[in-house]
Amino acid sequence: MAVSGAVLVLFLIGHMVGNLKIFLGADDFNHYAHWLRTMGEPAVPRRTLLTILEVVISVAVVLHIWSAVSLGKRARAARPVKYQARKKSHAQGYAVHTMRYGGVIILLFVIWHLLDLTFLVVNPKGDGFTPYERVVADFDASRWYITVWYVLAVLLVGLHLRHGVWSAFNSLGWRTPRNDRTLRGLAFAVAGVVTLGFVSVPLSVTFGWVS
Ligand code: HEM
């Protein structure tokens, strides 16, 4: 869970930083999108490194979901009879719900997002346009509901990250009573930076700061 999660966190940070290039203008953003496909050239053919990256991310997503399901099953098997005396605390119930249902919604979002900006099936500008034009058309003010969908999905990604990063610290045995607050703060900071970085792009297009 933690290893696949770490790969996904690194991807998210890289993707978020790459997206911020939109604030440098169309040329920089399109150049970055082009570089993603040509990195490693001429040592390796076009798209080789990107394809390796895509395989690594896909394997990480599958392993992450598989670990979540099997850990859930193991937890239930270890305690076949539910506790009677002590109900789950509000915080425990909240974490399980955000991780489980949030995770499913994030997966649905990623499928939509791939159909939108990678396979261009649901994007207003398809093939023949630049990545910059596609992002700007996607989050146009007239399509505010797409921006709302992206922002809500990214907020869920943020909640998932905050709990996931903190859980990973815990599982790795790094948490002690003394550093608990620091680790919680670190998880909050990572999640906060990733969330703000991602939402800044659709919001800036919708509000006309990027056009
Ligand atoms: C909210 C702001 C976001 C924007 C503006 C955005 C933009 C983009 C764009 C333009 C691409 C296509 C890149 C290219 O082919 O050149 C892309 C691909 C992708 N995005 Fe996002 N993204 C956002 C958030 C996210 C989030 C939150 C996730 C994951 C939870 C995500 C996962 C992916 C994946 C998996 C790909 C495919 C990468 C590949 O083809 O190798 N994105 N995104």
**Could you tell me if residue 183 is inside a domain?**
yes
Give the percent of the chain with pLDDT over 70.
Answer: 94
Terminal alpha carbon distance of the chain: 40
Q: How does pLDDT run across 75-134, given as a tens digit for each residue?
A: 888 877 766 655 666 666 777 788 999 999 999 999 999 999 999 999 999 899 999 999
What pLDDT was estimated at residue 94? Answer: 73
What pLDDT was estimated at residue 130? Answer: 97
Cβ of 106 closer than 6 Å to ligand 1, yes or no, is: yes
Pocket test for ligand 1, best of 35, 36, 118, 149 (most atoms within 8 A of CB): 118
**Could you tell me if residue 50 is inside a domain?**
yes
Ligand 1 center from residue 25 Cα (angstroms): 18
Cβ of 110 closer than 6 Å to ligand 1, yes or no, is: yes
What pLDDT was estimated at residue 87? Answer: 60
What pLDDT was estimated at residue 82? Answer: 66
Q: What is the pTM of this model?
A: 0.93
**Could you tell me if residue 140 is inside a domain?**
yes
Ligand 1 center from residue 19 Cα (angstroms): 8
Average pLDDT value for residue range 129-146? 98
Residue 157: band (very low, low, confident or very high) from pLDDT cuts 50, 70, 90: very high
Q: In the predicted model, what is the mean pLDDT of the chain?
A: 93
CA atoms in the 13 A half-sphere facing the CB of 77: 6
What pLDDT was estimated at residue 83? Answer: 61
The better pLDDT of the pair 119, 73 is held by 119
**Could you tell me if residue 84 is inside a domain?**
no
Which residue minimizes the CA distance to atom 40 of ligand 1?
118
What pLDDT was estimated at residue 179? Answer: 94
**Could you tell me if residue 190 is inside a domain?**
yes
30 is in which domain, residue-wise?
2-79+89-206
Residues sharing a CB contact under 8 Å with residue 17, sequence separation 6 or more, in sequence order: 197
Cβ of 34 closer than 6 Å to ligand 1, yes or no, is: no
What pLDDT was estimated at residue 136? Answer: 98
Pocket test for ligand 1, best of 38, 113, 150, 203 (most atoms within 8 A of CB): 113
Angle at 61 between CA 46 and CA 144, to 5 degrees: 85
CA atoms in the 13 A half-sphere facing the CB of 186: 14
**CATH code of the domain covering residue 8:** 1.20.1300.10
Ligand 1 center from residue 187 Cα (angstroms): 22
**Could you tell me if residue 24 is inside a domain?**
yes
Structural domain count of the chain: 1
Number of H helices, E strands in the chain: 7, 0
Category of 39 on φ-ψ map: left (φ > 0), alpha (ψ -120 to 50) or beta? beta
Residues sharing a CB contact under 8 Å with residue 90, sequence separation 6 or more, in sequence order: none
